[in-house]
Structure 1
């Protein structure tokens, strides 16, 4: 039996990860490899509470985000696939995640949400 409410219920969990990147088309310092400490807030909403009295178990949410996001981006170098970055990456011994666009925070978030 599901418990129904008259409004949307949301829960949010915060995740963090460390990622390096470069914006190869940037005219200033962002064109250099540099890192960020990212904080990702994941919100899950529902209009009903499940029989276990939850929208989603935080343990399950953590497993999903760790598998889909943290394992991909934590301590990785994120680069747009282009000739300049491919040449640069030849000299880097690191976990590189290639993207088809510049890894701005907006593009990273758009990638994560899909």
Structure 2
């Protein structure tokens, strides 16, 4: 039993059972999109404030004296990875797929400096799969991607779980 008076030495702390931990970081970004050939209002260019939750799975580092001791991943490092691979790419961008007529695509290119043409319909469902693929390529080997949740609105989100995609 650990009490207020108990002091664990580095030798004793190494004997604490290894635990698999989930850590989550939240992000937000603004993005516009249009859904080609959709049968509702989302066929028009419109935007969302997206909220993104990235959850990683890993063991707590047990290296007394190491600057990252006690962490699964430094949240600052996770932030850099997500910002450079997702947020900085998509924030304040217009995202479409290449099925739009060429004239419309050219018009969109002229209207914005940040047009992204993906090879899929830019729905929340497809975006979480894309984000998962991107992040799995750049995550450190000591952690794995557990889940991604992407809120398109306050009440609607798409979710990706690694266990569902093995």
Partner of residue 39, structure 1: 51
1:18 correspondence with 2:50: no
Partner of residue 74, structure 1: 91
* Contact residue 35 and residue 43 of structure 2 kept, 8 A: yes
Question: What per-residue deviation string (whole Å, max 9, x for no partner) do you get for residues 17-43 of structure 1?
Answer: 000000012111000000011111011
Distance 1:110 1:2, change over 3 A: farther
State how far apart, in whole Å, the 2-side matches of 1:2 and 1:107 are.
Answer: 43
Indicate the structure (1 or 2) with the bigger Cα radius of gyration: 2
What is the alpha-carbon root mean square deviation over aligned residues? 1.9
Q: CA deviation at 1:83?
A: 4.1
Segments ≥4 residues shifted beyond 3 Å: 1-4
* Contact residue 69 and residue 112 of structure 1 kept, 8 A: yes
Count of residue pairs the alignment pairs up? 112
TM-score w.r.t. length of structure 2: 0.62
Question: What per-residue deviation string (whole Å, max 9, x for no partner) do you get for residues 59-90 of structure 1?
Answer: 10000000000111100000101242524424
The structure showing larger relative contact order (alpha-carbon pairs under 8 Å, at least 6 residues apart) is: 1
More strand, by proportion: 1
TM-score w.r.t. length of structure 1: 0.88
